Amino acid sequence: MGRETKETEENQKTRHKMVVVGPHVSIITLNVNGLNSPIKRHRVAGWIKEQDPTICCLQETHLSPKDKHRLRVKGWRTILQANNEQKKAGVAILISDKVDFKAKQIKKDKEGQYIMIKGTLHQEDITLINIYAPNTGAPKFVKQLLIELKEDINNNTIIVGDLNTPLTPMDRTSRQKINKEIIELNEKLDQMDLIDIYRTLHPKTAGYTFFSSAHGTFSRIDHILGTKANINKYKRVEIIS
């Protein structure tokens, strides 16, 4: 599905919210579907202030490298972005001023499909990866990216974003079977001891983050992944409308 069809179909994105670690840390992820309009930026900034997360991950910002300064939210001064010259894709991580965060390493691509930051939060190591997977070939893209970032992924890693991929049949109202690419992505997640936190904490709940009016179906394609080793640290995960 192209960008344009997305807009005309008025696909509604909902958001994920999650709470983790030590002095508790909350992480929210949202596909904003473009931030070039000042009104939209104002609404997103208002929404972030209302949710008041420690970390906010945005996808599809559509900001070019020269426009990235336009993303500003009072109270979230630390903003790290991967942008695309063509005003496509684009991801951003915003970190609250209320926490002691120090970035040690940043990796990102020129297409604005992902950004990874390694650092410390309240003196604890944390690796955050924010991904926007392309509409076509998403499972393959995510699997390949995980392979490339394999050395960076450890027990303190949290992967969030719009993966454009339902991971189980339960993640679609149509309940259609998952294809070979998704099966292979799940096998890769298993090998790397990564878990879908929402599905782990809500094994029987059908929650959705995306509505496609073209197909009349709901699906859960936005995810927060963590490591099996840290399963007891993930206190709560929810999808908010």
- Structure confidence at residue 176 (pLDDT): 85
Tell me, letter by letter, the H, E, C secondary structure of 80-142.
EEECCCCCCCCEEEEECCCCCEEEEEEEECCCCCEEEEEEEECCEEEEEEEEECCCCCHHHHH
- Structure confidence at residue 121 (pLDDT): 95
- Structure confidence at residue 24 (pLDDT): 87
164 has binding-site annotation: yes
Q: pTM higher than 0.85 for the full model?
A: yes
Residue 115 to residue 138: CA distance in whole angstroms: 16
What is the phi/psi pair of residue 24, to 5°? -60, 145
Please name the residue that has the structure tokens 């699906």. 219
pLDDT mean for each 10 residues of the chain (241 residues): 35 48 83 97 97 97 95 96 96 97 97 98 95 97 98 97 96 91 98 97 95 93 96 93 74
- Structure confidence at residue 143 (pLDDT): 98
- Structure confidence at residue 38 (pLDDT): 96
- Structure confidence at residue 204 (pLDDT): 94
- Structure confidence at residue 136 (pLDDT): 95
155 has binding-site annotation: no
- Structure confidence at residue 17 (pLDDT): 53
Query: Quick check: 43 and 58 in contact, CB under 8 A?
Result: no
60 has binding-site annotation: yes
Distances (CA, A) of 121 to 24, 68, 195, 226, 232: 11, 24, 22, 16, 18
Query: Quick check: 113 and 134 in contact, CB under 8 A?
Result: yes
